[in-house]
Amino acid sequence: MRNILIVYYSRKGQNYCSGSIRDLEKGNTEIVAEMISNLTGGDLFEIETVKEYPADYYACTDEAKQELKSDARPELKAYPDSIDGYDTIFVGYPNWWGTMPMAMFTFLENYDLSGKRILPFCTNEGSGMGSSERDLKKLCKGAYIKRGLSVHGSEAASSGKKVEAWVRKSV
């Protein structure tokens, strides 16, 4: 296998799942990221913002919408020291307002990703990848953006076969 990094942003706590708000001990995107790490042996890196989003789901989505409208770049708690040793980077996130959370933009703009393979995966409740693949192509100049994987968030824990098939085809 290649030198693999799995970078992801995930929301624990209140989430929208199959028509209702549920309190999740572990975020859906984190569940899928861990599956990918187990399949590939890749290193995991969780993106965390300095300013935490509101615990209330609806307040969080309102803040996420404002960030998108203002093209914000939330400050992150940490970055990997280097990503030079990785040639394949899985990029995971929930679909917020049709694309990645703005924290993903902050992270990706911090690196030169030229020549790297980017494999996006997204959790959502029906909105699929949205415009995130197109946004990745704009953000990651010179990188090879592969076709992404959309996972229904409320099915994240039971999506192992789907994730494995995508990983085997993509790596």
Set out the domains of the chain in order of their start, with CATH numbers.
Answer: 4-170 (3.40.50.360)
Strands (E), the chain: 4-8, 13-17, 20-24, 43-46, 88-94, 117-124, 144-145, 149-152
Q: Could you give the CA distance from residue 32 to residue 92 in angstroms, rounded to a whole number?
A: 8
112 Cβ contact partners less than 8 Å away, ≥ 6 residues apart: 142
Tokens 């076969």 -> residue = 161
C-alpha 119/C-alpha 21 separation (Å) is 29
Please state, in angstroms and rounded to a whole number, the distance separating the CA atoms of residues 68 and 126.
19
Q: What is the pLDDT of residues 93-150, one digit of tens each?
A: 999 999 999 999 999 999 999 999 999 999 999 899 999 999 999 999 999 999 999 9
pLDDT at 1 over 70: no
Convert the pLDDT of each residue in 6-56 to its tens digit.
999 999 999 988 889 999 999 999 999 999 999 999 999 999 999 999 999
Q: Looking at residue 2, what is its pLDDT?
A: 67
CB 9 within 8 A of CB 15: no
